């Protein structure tokens, strides 16, 4: 009797313990989260912007290598921070521990308001555009409703439906969400591999494109202007590599994070680089550099027509739609964990911190993320917002890597299962390179960069509001 009575309080405590996220992501799942989240529509759309800022095919490919190396420097730093704080929220948590609540909140605000809201809207509309080309019966271009200057089209409904489906699958269980993500991504990788292999094996391209400089594409310029244009080309490259941070955001659900996070970051970025370099090499085999710079926005379509035939258009639309769907699955899963972490700290809506007792997922965070993304999809402002904040996103990475130095100084004796490769040289080089890049962007693109700063600054009133509420609650 006594033993039963003694056990009852423990059982009651267990029943009252709030539900938590579960560690269900394996190493393979985590790598696919990074690779699938990075390889979205960018691999098909960014080549023209890059080709317009370089003068030789070798530089066109080198910019992708440079992007991978710079990204790896950041990953080495995040691997150390991730093993110190293997929690949901990732970079938000690292910045909070290094620089305090305000800087962390502004980073999290940017993720919610723009990177996930605008990013998911952009990806879902990309999916809708190419999926409707595959299934014209859906009437993607058909206008369903007009109110003043605003109109609702079939594309809006397709985009929001895809976003809603992925959000629902993410709500009803981590394993279901991961299965959907993995299947979509493996299909995407297989299709990309087929494009590259068949393009070089039987495509009607030319190896001369790899040596012919695009003299007409750019005027003659000195070293510093050329470096500045190289820096502008990196904007598109950083956007394409964006997604590697998804691993850190979902760290609270990674199995054995102290072992798997560093491995996933390293292997994942190398895989992304291999995909991007091979795809852009295939574009260059199909088209001369000038043809890429002056061609259509979807370089992959032009390359496919040159390599194979105009009839390849439907197949390519399927590939891009599938790529967007896989990337949307990854960003939906990971992004919701940042808002969840902010709410746990009392710096966001309280209900967003709740975990479903049966599914063990942050359902309210997922729902809120979907609603905001759907609103941006309907208003059509997502692309402008997303463009403005690429500058701030890279600055966020810079603050994260700088946080490594701050925490080495503030907590010299903290446990570090993984220590940053090349410290302090490589992370220091990353901070210097990205800082110089940011100054170059301010000089070359002042409107976009200052707008990005302004959007992030709009979060300050929200921070003051939630900080006051947290103080009152305590």
* CATH code for the domain of 80: 1.20.1740.10
The per-residue pLDDT for 446 is 83
Q: 84-129: per-residue pLDDT in tens? A: 999 999 999 999 999 999 999 999 999 998 888 888 988 898 899 8
Inside any domain, residue 4: no
What's the gap between Cα 36 and its chain centre?
A: 9
pLDDT tops 80 at residue 287: yes
Helix, strand, coil fractions of the chain, as percent rounded to 5: 75, 0, 20
The per-residue pLDDT for 149 is 77
Could you tell me what percent of the chain has a pLDDT over 90? 57
Reported for 264-268, long-range contacts at CB under 8 A and 24+ positions apart, including other chains, are 264/27, 264/30, 264/31, 264/33, 264/34, 265/34, 265/75, 265/76, 265/78, 265/79, 265/82, 266/72, 266/75, 266/79, 267/31, 268/30, 268/31, 268/33, 268/34, 268/35, 268/38, 268/244
Inside any domain, residue 6: no
* H or E stretch at 153: strand 150-153
For residues 138 and 154, is the Cβ–Cβ distance under 8 A?
Answer: yes
Average pLDDT value for residue range 191-220: 81
Cα pseudo-dihedral 131, 328, 272, 251, rounded to 10: -160
Inside any domain, residue 2: no
d(CA 399, CA 396): 5
27-38 vs 313-344: helix axis angle to the nearest 10?
120
Inside any domain, residue 244: yes
The per-residue pLDDT for 217 is 46
Q: 36-71: per-residue pLDDT in tens? A: 999 987 788 788 888 887 878 988 999 899 989 999
Inside any domain, residue 1: no
The per-residue pLDDT for 13 is 47
Confidence of residue 336 (pLDDT cuts 50, 70, 90): very high
Inside any domain, residue 393: yes
Domain that includes residue 257, residue range? 21-473
313-344 vs 299-307: helix axis angle to the nearest 10?
150
Inside any domain, residue 250: yes
The per-residue pLDDT for 176 is 95
Confidence of residue 257 (pLDDT cuts 50, 70, 90): very high
State the residue for tokens 């994070």: 257
Among 240-244, 269-273, 365-369, 465-469, the minimum mean pLDDT is found in 240-244
d(CA 152, CA 132): 15
Inside any domain, residue 16: no
The per-residue pLDDT for 298 is 78
Write the burial class of residue 437 (CB in 10 Å: 0-12 exposed, 13-18 middle, 19+ buried): buried
Number of structural domains, the chain? Answer: 1
Give CA separation, 145 vs 148, 378, 469, in Å.
10, 12, 41
Confidence of residue 385 (pLDDT cuts 50, 70, 90): low
The per-residue pLDDT for 439 is 83
């Amino acid at each position: 009797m006594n033993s039963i009575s003694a056990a009852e309080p423990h059982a009651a405590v267990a029943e009252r313990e709030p539900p938590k996220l579960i560690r269900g992501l394996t190493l393979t799942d985590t790598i696919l989260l990074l690779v699938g989240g990075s390889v979205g529509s960018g691999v098909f759309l960014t080549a023209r912007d890059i080709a317009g800022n370089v003068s030789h095919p070798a530089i066109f490919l080198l910019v992708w290598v440079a992007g991978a190396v710079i990204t790896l420097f950041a990953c080495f730093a995040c691997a150390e921070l991730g093993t110190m704080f293997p929690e949901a929220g990732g970079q938000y948590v690292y910045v909070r521990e290094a620089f305090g609540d305000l800087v962390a909140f502004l980073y999290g605000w940017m993720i919610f308001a723009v990177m996930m809201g605008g990013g998911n809207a952009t990806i879902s509309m990309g999916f809708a555009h190419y999926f409707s080309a595959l299934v014209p019966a859906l009437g993607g271009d058909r206008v369903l409703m007009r109110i003043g200057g605003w109109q609702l089209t079939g594309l809006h409904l397709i985009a929001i439906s895809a976003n809603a489906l992925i959000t629902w699958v993410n709500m009803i269980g981590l394993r279901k969400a991961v299965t959907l993500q993995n299947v979509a991504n493996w299909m995407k990788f297989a299709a990309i591999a087929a494009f590259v292999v068949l393009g070089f094996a039987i495509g009607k391209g030319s190896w001369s494109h790899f040596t012919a400089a695009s003299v007409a594409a750019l005027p003659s310029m000195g070293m510093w202007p050329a470096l500045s244009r190289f820096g502008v080309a990196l904007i598109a490259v950083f956007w394409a590599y964006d997604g590697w941070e998804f691993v850190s955001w979902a760290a609270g659900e990674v199995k054995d994070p102290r072992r798997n996070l560093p491995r996933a970051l390293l292997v994942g970025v190398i895989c992304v680089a291999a995909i991007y370099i091979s795809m852009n090499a295939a574009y260059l085999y199909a088209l001369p550099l000038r043809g890429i710079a002056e061609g259509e926005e979807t370089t992959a379509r032009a390359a496919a027509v040159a390599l194979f035939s105009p009839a390849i258009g439907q197949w390519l639309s399927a590939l891009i739609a599938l790529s967007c769907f896989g990337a949307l699955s990854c960003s939906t899963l990971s992004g919701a964990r940042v808002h969840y972490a902010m709410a746990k700290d009392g710096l966001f809506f309280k209900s967003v911190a709740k975990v479903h007792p049966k599914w063990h997922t942050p359902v309210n965070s997922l729902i809120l993320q979907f609603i905001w993304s759907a609103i941006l999809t309907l208003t059509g402002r997502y692309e402008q917002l997303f463009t403005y904040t690429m500058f701030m996103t890279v600055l966020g990475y810079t603050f994260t890597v700088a946080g490594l130095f701050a925490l080495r100084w503030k907590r010299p004796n903290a446990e570090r299962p993984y220590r940053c490769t090349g410290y302090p040289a490589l992370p220091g080089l990353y901070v210097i390179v990205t800082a110089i890049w940011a100054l170059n962007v301010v000089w070359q693109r002042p409107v976009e960069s200052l707008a990005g700063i302004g959007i992030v600054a709009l979060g300050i009133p929200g921070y003051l509001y939630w900080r006051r509420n947290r103080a009152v609650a305590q």
